[in-house]
Structures are given as structure tokens and as C-alpha cells.
Amino acid sequence: MADASNVLLEKISAVLPDSLKSRSAAPAIAAYNPHIGTSLNTLPDLRQAIGKGQKLDIVYENLQGATSQRTIWPLQVEYWGHVWTCTSWCELRDDFRVFRVDRIQQVKRTTIRFPGNAKLLLAQYLRRFEEAPPGRGNKSRLE
């Protein structure tokens, strides 16, 4: 099914005007299980920011219950069967981070576009997994 999806995306991209190709190349959502998860009230803001390549200011509660303010560059949202996450560049940490959507307490949309291309940034993040030895060196950080 993934191969068929990629073929379809290539066909669509072939007929899109150049001005839209960069936006269409980076998927806004990837679903890994057909069941719906937890609170998704911030998901529309995340998806809109991904589509426009815009930064978001968020208040985030980590797994230990501590809150922090972050400016993120959302690249993709993912559903893992029980939880939604958002892969982003985090300006506070100056690195890629994966944020649980249900732990994002507040979202403030900005009109500031983040530098670079979301597709290329996401590819850079994903290369970390290809370069790491199996079972070791996973360089992803779930905040």
C-alpha cells in the first residue's frame, strides 16, 4: 500500500504547478493505526502550520509534568495507535523533537515562516534512523 501511495504522490506532483510542489511533497499526516486516539484539539493548528511552513509557539507539558514554552517548526504529525505525535524542529533545544499532541497545552499560531523546506528537514531527521546501528543510537527525543 505504501508503494501505491508513493506512485500516486509522484503522479500528482508531476501535474502540480511549481509553486505548489514544495508543499505537496511533505506529507502533513502519517497514520500507523486506524483507531482514533486522545485529545486532538491542537491538531488543526499543527496541520495548518505544516501546510504553510509556519512556526508555532506552544506551551508543552513533558512526561514528568513540567511545562515549557517552545517555538517549533512542525514537520509532520503521526498516529501510533494510541497517541498522536508531531515531529518538529525545536528552537529551544536547537534540535529535532517529537512532541505528543495530547501534551501540547496551548498553541499560538504565527505568520513567521521557518527557514528551509519541511520535506528536506523531515528527510534529514529520518536519516538519523538510517545511520544509527540497529537497536542503538536512536537520536530521536520524545519530549
Q: How does DSSP assign 103-129, residue by residue?
A: GEEEEEEEEEEPSS-HHHHHHHHHHHH
| Cα distance between residue 109 and residue 122, in whole Å | 21
Q: Among all chains, which residue has been given the C-alpha cell 512532541?
A: 99
pTM score, whole prediction? 0.69
Neighbours of 90 (CB within 10 A): 20
Domain annotation covers residue 18:
no
Q: What is the pLDDT of residues 87-136, one digit of tens each?
A: 999 999 999 999 999 999 999 999 999 998 888 999 999 998 887 666 55
On whether residue 9 sits in a domain, the answer given is: no
126 inside domain: yes
Decide if 115 is inside a domain.
Answer: yes
> Which residues constitute the domain of residue 103?
27-131
Number of domains composing the chain: 1
- Domain assignment of residue 92, yes or no: yes
Is residue 75 in some structural domain? yes
Q: pLDDT tens across 40-77, in order?
A: 789 999 999 999 999 999 999 988 999 999 999 999 99
Q: Do residues 99 and 143 make contact, with C-beta atoms less than 8 angstroms apart?
A: yes
Strand partners, 104: 60
C-alpha cell at 86: 508531531
CATH number of domain containing 50 = 2.30.30.100
